[in-house]
Amino acid sequence: MHGLGLGGYDPDSQQEAAVAFRITVAAEEQRIPAHYHRKGQLILALKGAITCEVEHARWMVPPHHAMWLPGRVSHSNHATPNAQLCFLFIEPWSVVMPEHCCTLKISPLVRELIMVLAARTPAQRRQPATQRLVQVLFDELPDQPQMQLQLPVSAHPKIRQMVDHMEASPAERQTLAQWAQVFAMSERNLARLVVRETGLSFRRWRHQMQLILALQRLISGQSVQQVAQTLGYDSTTAFITMFKKGLGQTPGRYLATLGTE
C-alpha cells in the first residue's frame, strides 16, 4: 500500500531520485493501516498533524515538521481531519539520510522545494531545471534537525493496554501504583517492564504520551483550557507547566511557531 490520495499511482515503481505529492486528508481518510515503501519516505505536515507508528515507536508530526521513514520500514498513519500533507519519496542511493525513523524540523527553504516538486508534472520533473531544484533539496535535507516527538511503544500486551487506555481515557492519568494493581504485579516489576520495553521510566514515558495527546488536540483547534481539562489536569497552569517542561515553550508560543494560531 502506498499511502493516501495518490490515485493508485505507485511511487515505488518510478526510478526518479525524488517524487513528491501534495494531498488534503478528508475526515473519512484519517487512518492508513500498516504498509511500507521500497523508497525512503518523508511525510511533511503543512496543516494539521499526522501520527506515524512503527514497530517500537509512535511519532508525532506537527505542522512544518516531517516524519522520515527509511525504505521498507512498515508503518501506519493517522492524520487529523483536513490535514494538508506532502509525501516525498526518495531513492535510497540519492541522498544520505538517517538510517532510523525520526521527526525532522523542516526549514522554509526545504518546505518550498518539496512543494514546488509536488506541483511538477512527470514531464517537468525530467527537465534540467527541476533536477537542479532536486539537487538543492538533497543538499539541504541531511541538515534538518531531529526533534524528540516520539513515544516508545512495544508489542508487549501490558504496554499496549496502557497506551490504548491513555488514548481512550486521557483524563484518568493512572499512576504506576494504579497500573500495577490493574496487572496484579508489584510496582517495581512494572517499572522494570516499562524501562525494558520503552527505554524510559514510567513517569517520563507517561509525560511523553501526554505531550503527544496534547499536541494532537491543540493542532486540531482545541483551546489550552479544553486540552488541560481533557487530559485531567486540575488547572490550566499545571498543564502549561507540563507542556513547557517537555517542549521548552508554553502551548501558545509553541503553536505560534507552527503558524497554527
The pLDDT tens digits for 4-47 are 445 555 676 667 889 999 998 876 557 788 888 999 999 999 98
Which pTM value belongs to this model? Answer: 0.82
Sequential DSSP letters for 187-226: HHHHHHHHHHHHSS-HHHHHHHHHHHHHHHHHHTT--HHH
The pLDDT tens digits for 158-209 are 999 999 999 999 999 899 999 999 999 999 999 999 999 999 999 999 999 9
Distance CA 194, CA 175 (A): 13
CATH of 11-147 given 3.30.470.20, 3.50.50.60, 2.40.10.10, 2.60.120.280: 2.60.120.280
What per-residue confidence (pLDDT) applies to 74?
Answer: 92
116's grid cell: 514546488
Identical fold at 11-147 and 153-258? no
**Exposed / middle / buried, residue 36 (Cβ in 10 Å: 0-12, 13-18, 19+):** middle
The arrangement of strands across the sheet holding 57-61 comes to 31-35, 75-79, 50-54, 57-61, 150-152
Amino acid at 217: R
CATH T-level assignment (fold) for domain 153-258: Arc Repressor Mutant, subunit A (1.10.10)
The pLDDT tens digits for 66-101 are 999 999 999 999 888 888 999 999 998 899 999 999
* DSSP code at position 135: H
Query: What are the sequence ranges of the domains in the chain?
Result: 11-147, 153-258
Q: Is the dihedral of CA 67, 72, 78, 81 positive or negative?
A: positive
**Closest CA relative to residue 144, chosen from 102, 92, 87:** 102
The pLDDT tens digits for 42-61 are 999 998 888 899 888 988 89
The torsion angles phi and psi of 59, rounded to 5 degrees, stand at -115, 135
